[in-house]
Amino acid sequence: MMRRFVLSAFIVVSIGFGITGTAKADFVNGSFETGDTTGWTTTYSSFDSGLNPFGTTYGTGMDGTYWAWLAGYEQDISFSQTLTGLTAGVTYAVDFIMASEAYNSDQIHVSADGGPATTFTAPPYNPGGGINGGFWDVWVSQEFQFTATGTTATIQFDTFGLNSGCCDVGLDNVHLRELTQVPEPVSLIPLCLLAGGMIYRRRKAHQAN
C-alpha cells in the first residue's frame, strides 16, 4: 500500500511541476524584427544610431530584415534590456552576432547589472566584396556569460569610449541561453517522496525479520 502511495504521489507532483514550470527567459525583440526598438532601452538619436538605416542591402548573415547599429564615432550609445524569470545562481550566456562597418575592427561592450564590461571585437569588413562594397558584410558570433544574482538582470550593449573616429558596429540575433541549472525546491519533492518510500520498505523488511 505504501509503495503504491509513494509512486502515485511521485507521478502527481511531477506532473504538477511540469504544468506550473516558468517559461524560459529570453530577450524581447532580440533580432529587432519589429522594425523598431521595442523591448529595448536606448540612448541615441536618429542621426547616430538605429535599425539598419541603410536598408537591407548591406551585409549578410544577420537574422531577418533588421539589425541594430551603434555609432561609436558620434557619441556614446547603449542598448539595454532587463530580463525577467531568471534563477539566482544560474549561469547564462548572451549569444549575439556583430559586424564592423568598414576597415576598423569595431568593438562593443556587454555588461550585466552595471558590472564590469566585456569588450568584443568584430573583424574588418571585406573591401570591395559582398554587397555594397562589403560594409557590415562579416558577421561573427559572440557569447557573454553572467551568473544571475536574482530573478532579474539588466544586460547592456554599449560603445562607450570605443570606435573613436570610425565606425558603426552592427548588432543582431541577441538571445539568452541557460548554461547551468539550480534545482528548484519543488523539483526535489519527488526525490524526497521516493527516498521516503525506500526507507519505509527497508524498515518493514527489517521488522519482518
Q: What is the pLDDT along the chain (209 residues), one digit of tens a residue?
A: 555 544 444 443 444 443 333 448 999 999 988 888 899 998 865 545 566 654 455 666 677 778 888 876 556 789 999 999 999 999 999 999 999 888 888 999 999 999 999 999 999 887 665 555 567 888 899 999 999 999 999 999 998 888 766 678 889 999 999 998 655 555 455 555 565 566 656 666 656 66
Residue 47: the pLDDT is 47
140 touches 61 (CB < 8 A): no
For residue 110, count other CB atoms closer than 10 A to its CB: 22
Residue 18: the pLDDT is 39
Q: Which pTM does this prediction carry?
A: 0.73
Alpha-carbon distance values, 97 to 10, 46, 187, 198 (Å): 43, 22, 35, 51
Residue 17: the pLDDT is 41
Pairwise CA distance, residues 31 & 138, whole Å: 17
For 172, the grid coordinates are 543582431
**Assigned fold of 27-184:** Jelly Rolls (2.60.120)
Alpha-carbon distance values, 152 to 58, 75, 159, 192 (Å): 35, 29, 23, 29
Residue 7: the pLDDT is 44
Query: Which phi-psi region, left, alpha or beta, contains residue 18 (left: φ > 0; alpha: ψ -120 to 50)?
Result: alpha
For 166, the grid coordinates are 570610425
- Cα dihedral sign, 114-117-118-120: positive
Pairwise CA distance, residues 30 & 32, whole Å: 6
Pairwise CA distance, residues 133 & 59, whole Å: 9
38 touches 68 (CB < 8 A): no
Residue 196: the pLDDT is 58
Domain ranges of the chain: 27-184
58 touches 52 (CB < 8 A): yes
Residue 191: the pLDDT is 53
Pairwise CA distance, residues 181 & 174, whole Å: 21
Residue 73: the pLDDT is 58
Pairwise CA distance, residues 87 & 94, whole Å: 15
Alpha-carbon distance values, 28 to 102, 157, 204 (Å): 29, 15, 55
Q: Is 115 helix (H, G, I), strand (E, B) or coil?
A: coil
